[in-house]
Amino acid sequence: MFAKAASVPVEKLCRLGLFAVAARTLKEAAFGRFQFADVVTALLLLACDLGLGIWTTRALARSGAARAASSAADAGSDAAAGVAAQAIVATGLWVRCLAAIPYAGLVLGAAVAVGPGETRAALAVLGVAALAGAFVEYCGAIFRGYERLGDEARLNVVRAVLVSAAGLLALAWRPSVVALAAGMATGATAAAASGLVVVRRRYRLPRPLEPGTFDARLARAAVREALPLWLATLMSLVYFKGDAILLRMFVGDAAVGSYSAAYKIFEATMIVPSIVLAAWFPALVRVDAEREPGRRARVELGLGAALLGLGLLAGATVLLASGLVIRLAFGEAFANAVPTLRVLALGVPLVFLNYGLTHFLIARHLERANLVFTFAMMVLNLGANLLFIPRFAGRGAAFTTVGTELALTGCCLVILLWGGRASGSRSRSSPTEPAEARRVRTSE
């Protein structure tokens, strides 16, 4: 948690600083076009993500392969653990690379659909940035599976600094949406290369697409188990980011720029729960695998209460300081963002708590329930946005976000308190253990 606490603020501040400069330089309409392209590429990337990141972290943590392999790298023992970790990571990288092919087609199609202009060019270039960022995130998932958040923290800081510096230099060279996108793509690509080098050299893990490292059985298991996680993440991103698209349709680019400024502050508050859950998720998986419901309940209750308390504090701070924060970050031209930020502040405690509740579901292998809830929240969110955005613009989208988070809290609490474990809970021996690892373990 200390490693994440030291790095995440740097990441968020770099990104917020880049967007603050971009907003002041590009002005509302152009900044709105950039945000539109950024949201579209994020949605298209997630459409081909397959949920491999969280699957990799959970598979490594649950099997103990990462921890044992880490010791084996030093002690020269436990060959089966080393094989298991290598197979999990290598197969995930293969699937991640193959998934980039349909993603490239989707980005090309979206660029053609939006028509000529800088939005089309920005979509194409930000598509590259988003793909590079996906490989950075996958490297981070590997590090979390090994419970070495220091390596993840360093990689994320490197990415934040490279992307922000390259973006600012590009804006200084040519103040345009396309230049900003090109700078971000350059920084993200360099960060992805850095992460893959660390995975290869420090952890003795295979390179992407290295011959002989693809386990077809494990790949099928990965896709099958990660599918509910992927669909839930995709739908949650739709209701988190889809409001920007609807705002552009009904109100215009300026409204997107104003709402995005408020939303950047709202997103920045998520630093705290992301730190806590990044550090705690492998431990939650192990506690669930130990099959001690009493201990699991104590851990979840304590963590949930801590998240809610921190969320109340953060939400109150944003609510009281909203005017000052918007003025300092984005300037007087974005004064329309202040009422929207005040509404979003009401949802901060719920977001903090929901971070914990959804991770509890995943650690218990209740991802299918999480998928059902997320689908319901997406339908609720889109319906409410269609009703409120044409009437209230950014504030309507903000009220919808808060209402959706409240509904998600209720659903998660119901299943966690009364739903029990998933019927297909796993035994202590992970079904995702690769065949080669089992052969090595048996021979020993």
In a domain, 438, yes or no: no
Task: Using the 3D structure, point to which of 180, 214, 248 is the last residue of a domain.
Answer: 214
Same domain, 35 and 107: yes
In a domain, 164, yes or no: yes
In a domain, 259, yes or no: yes
In this predicted structure, what is the pLDDT of residue 189?
Answer: 93
- Given a contact cutoff of 8 angstroms between Cβ atoms, the answer to whether 333 and 261 are in contact is no
HSE-CB for 341 with a 13 A CA cutoff: 31
Using alpha carbons, list the distances in angstroms from residue 69 to 72, 197, 227, 284, 408.
Answer: 5, 18, 27, 20, 38
Q: Which residue has 């998240």 as its token pair?
A: 307
Tell me if residue 426 falls in helix, strand or coil: coil
Burial 194-216 (b: 16+ CB within 10 A, else e): bbbebbeeebebbebeeeebbbe
Distance in angstroms (rounded) separating the CA atoms of residues 140 and 7 = 13
Report pLDDT digits (tens) over 409-419: 998 888 888 75
CA angle 124, 127, 128 (to 5 degrees): 100
Same domain, 58 and 196: yes
Task: Using the 3D structure, point to which of 186, 214, 242 is the last residue of a domain.
Answer: 214
In this predicted structure, what is the pLDDT of residue 437?
Answer: 36
In this predicted structure, what is the pLDDT of residue 290?
Answer: 67
Q: Say how many domains are in the chain.
A: 2
Distance in angstroms (rounded) separating the CA atoms of residues 36 and 114 = 11
Same domain, 251 and 130: no
In a domain, 197, yes or no: yes
> Which DSSP state fits 332?
G
In a domain, 440, yes or no: no
CA trace torsion 326, 328, 331, 335 (10° rounding): 30
Q: pTM for the whole thing?
A: 0.63
In a domain, 436, yes or no: no
Domain extent for 121? 1-214
Tell me if residue 10 falls in helix, strand or coil: helix
Same domain, 153 and 8: yes
Report pLDDT digits (tens) over 302-312: 888 999 999 99
DSSP letter string, 70-139: HHHHHHS--HHHHHHHHHHHHHHHHHHHHHHHHHHHHHHHHHHHH-SSHHHHHHHHHHHHHHHHHHHHHH
Residue 238, token pair as written in the block: 């739709």
Task: Using the 3D structure, point to which of 214, 233, 251 is the last residue of a domain.
Answer: 214
Same domain, 159 and 245: no
Q: Give the residues of the chain that fall short of pLDDT 50.
A: 65-66, 68-69, 71-81, 421-444
Report pLDDT digits (tens) over 322-359: 888 888 877 777 888 888 889 999 999 999 999 888 88
Same domain, 106 and 244: no
Distance in angstroms (rounded) separating the CA atoms of residues 7 and 30 = 30
Q: Which residue has 């200390």 as its token pair?
A: 2
Same domain, 134 and 242: no
Same domain, 209 and 230: no
In a domain, 39, yes or no: yes
Distance in angstroms (rounded) separating the CA atoms of residues 294 and 211 = 46
HSE-CB for 84 with a 13 A CA cutoff: 30
- Given a contact cutoff of 8 angstroms between Cβ atoms, the answer to whether 259 and 337 are in contact is yes
Same domain, 92 and 77: yes
Residue 199, token pair as written in the block: 């995975």
Same domain, 15 and 139: yes
Distance in angstroms (rounded) separating the CA atoms of residues 172 and 188 = 18
In this predicted structure, what is the pLDDT of residue 221?
Answer: 77
In a domain, 439, yes or no: no
In this predicted structure, what is the pLDDT of residue 146?
Answer: 81
Same domain, 64 and 168: yes
Same domain, 276 and 189: no
